[in-house]
Structure formats: structure tokens, C-alpha cells
Amino acid sequence: MDIVSNSHPITSDDRTFNYGDGVFTTMCVSNGHVELLPYHLRRLTHDTNVLGIAIDIPSLSDAIDHAVAVEATSGANANRFVLKVHVSAGTGGRGYARDPHAKAIVRLTAHPYPASYETLWSSGITAMCAETRMAVQPLFAGVKHMNRLEQVFIKQEIARTPNAQDALVFDTEGNVVESSAGNVFFYQNDTWHTPVIDKAGVNGVVRQCLIEHMRASNTPVVEGNYSRNDIESAHAIAITNAVVGVMWVSNLIVPSNDASLATFSNGQHLCNTLRTVFKQYIDSGKQ
């Protein structure tokens, strides 16, 4: 495994450049600490194992610590920023087959924390139902790999839809999978539900954290297959990822002839349950 600087050029035979042969994770860094770091490292271990990419987690963890320390002293993003870890399967020839001697290439990049995220909780977000469907592929379900064309198309849909800030995404069998860049939870019949990630989608680190700690405290949470009707009849919808944490959906643009709007008037109160679980873990110092 080679850990390279962000200024290191991406060569034309890099396998992520050619085939999306790699994985990544996006971390939120607050006051010098990577939130959910054990979950990020665990997912990187899982995802690289699925793709057959050899990485050294202790060395990667040290590199993350170094990158955080450097960024924290630079002044630009001292208190809160985003750190992205890219893992490429390495370099190789023209064809799909990997060079068996190629080493993984790891690149870390720092980015400003989106300023708009700080104030979104007060209003919630408006989501739409994406027309783009995710392909069913159990082999890569849960993996945050570099092949993101579906998400690119979904983001284009959001940009074309007035007032939409995110989208709920369904697979080709009609099951809700996730949002454009996060996981989905919804509240119904006094229980939190979240789509099972066994055919498509990313097993997000906040999703893992919430399920683990909710079950530990005997808070009902169920993984299952859910349709658009299930989502539309929910009392609350939350979207989760490592950067935004937990965000509630205040309005859902429902596909119909008049593009009606479903409103979740109690959504913020209900989603605060998830937000509290997440914040308790972040504030516990177990990271």
C-alpha cells in the first residue's frame, strides 16, 4: 500500500481512473477528532476485502491522524472539516485484469465543511423521489465503491427539480434503498425502520452506529424491504451520513400528475431521537 499526497498525480493507468476499481469514505473532523473513526476503518476493511484490495489499516489510521493534525494547524479548516480517503486498487495495464504485483494507492484530501449544513436542522430538507433506479447487485451491496454514475444521475435530477434538496432512491425492484448520498430511516407504528442493504446501496457509518446503539438500548429499529407507499405513509423520515449526521425531511415531493407535497409536521421531534443517539455516541469520547 502506498499513501500519496493530494498533489501526487493520478496516472492514466490508475485503476480507479479507468474502471472505478477502488473504494472511499468521507469523514467529518471536529476539533481534531474524526467522528465515527472506528466505523470508517471497519467499513474500509470490509469494502477492500470485498474488492480484494490489500491495505494496512494501522498505517492508514496513522496517515489519517497525520492529515488531521496538519489540517488542524493550517488555520483554514481548524475546527471542522471533511476528510476524504480514496483507496485505488493501484495501477495496471490497458485491460480489466489487475496487475497481481500492483499495490493499493491511498490518497487523503481535506475539504471545507459545508456551511449550509449548520443551519439545516431548524428547517429540515425537502426531498423528492428519484426516477433513476439503482441496479440490484448483491455482490457489491453495502460497499462504498468508486462506481457512482447512478448518484451522478440522481444529483442531476435533484438539480432539475425546484425546491428539492435531496432524493429518496429506489432499486429496480421498487424497494427504497437510500438517499442520493446517505441512508434512510423512517418512523411508523412506534418503530424506526431502515432499508436492508443486501441488494444495493451503501452501508453508511452513521447507519451502522445508530442500529448498533439503538439495539443496545432496546430502541426498536427494523431492517426490511420497503416500498414508496411505506415511505409516504411514514410519520417521519431521516437521512443520515457522516457529514450531516442526522437530518430530518420536512417535505417529500410525491410523484404524481400535480407533484403533490407530503409534509411531516412532527418530523423534527421524532427524528431528534436518532439525532440524540448519534450525538451521545459522538460526545461519549469512544471514538
Highest mean pLDDT among 4-13, 40-49, 91-100: 40-49
Annotated active-site residue 103? The verdict is no
| Number of other residues whose CB lies within 10 A of the CB of residue 158 | 16
Would the pLDDT of 258 be above 60?
no
What topology is assigned to 2-113 in CATH? D-amino Acid Aminotransferase; Chain A, domain 1 (3.30.470)
Annotated active-site residue 144? The verdict is yes
pLDDT for the residue 73:
83
pLDDT for the residue 285:
64
Task: Please give the helix or strand (H or E) that residue 152 lies within, else none.
Answer: helix 149-160
pLDDT tens by residue, 158-179: 999 999 999 999 999 999 999 9
* From 26, 48, 91, 240, active-site residue: 26
Comparing CA positions, the residue from 187, 196, 176, 170 lying closest to residue 246 is 187
pLDDT for the residue 257:
54
Domain parsing of the chain, residue ranges = 2-113, 119-283
pTM, rounded to two decimals: 0.94
Band of pLDDT at residue 255, cut at 50, 70 and 90: confident
pLDDT for the residue 144:
98
pLDDT for the residue 235:
95
pLDDT tens by residue, 223-242: 999 999 999 999 999 999 99
Annotated active-site residue 26? The verdict is yes
* From 144, 161, 199, 240, active-site residue: 144
Q: 119-283 maps to which CATH number?
A: 3.20.10.10
SS3 content of the chain, % helix, strand, coil (to 5): 35, 30, 35
Distance between CA 20 and CA 147 in Å, rounded?
A: 5
Distance between CA 268 and CA 107 in Å, rounded?
A: 37
83's grid cell: 476528510
Would the pLDDT of 286 be above 80?
no
Band of pLDDT at residue 72, cut at 50, 70 and 90: confident
* From 178, 194, 199, 273, active-site residue: 178
The b/e string for 63-76 (b: 16+ C-beta within 10 A; e otherwise) is bbeebbeebbeeee
Task: Report in angstroms the alpha-carbon separations of 155 from 129, 132, 164, 232.
Answer: 12, 10, 10, 21
Task: State the average pLDDT for the chain.
Answer: 93
Band of pLDDT at residue 38, cut at 50, 70 and 90: very high
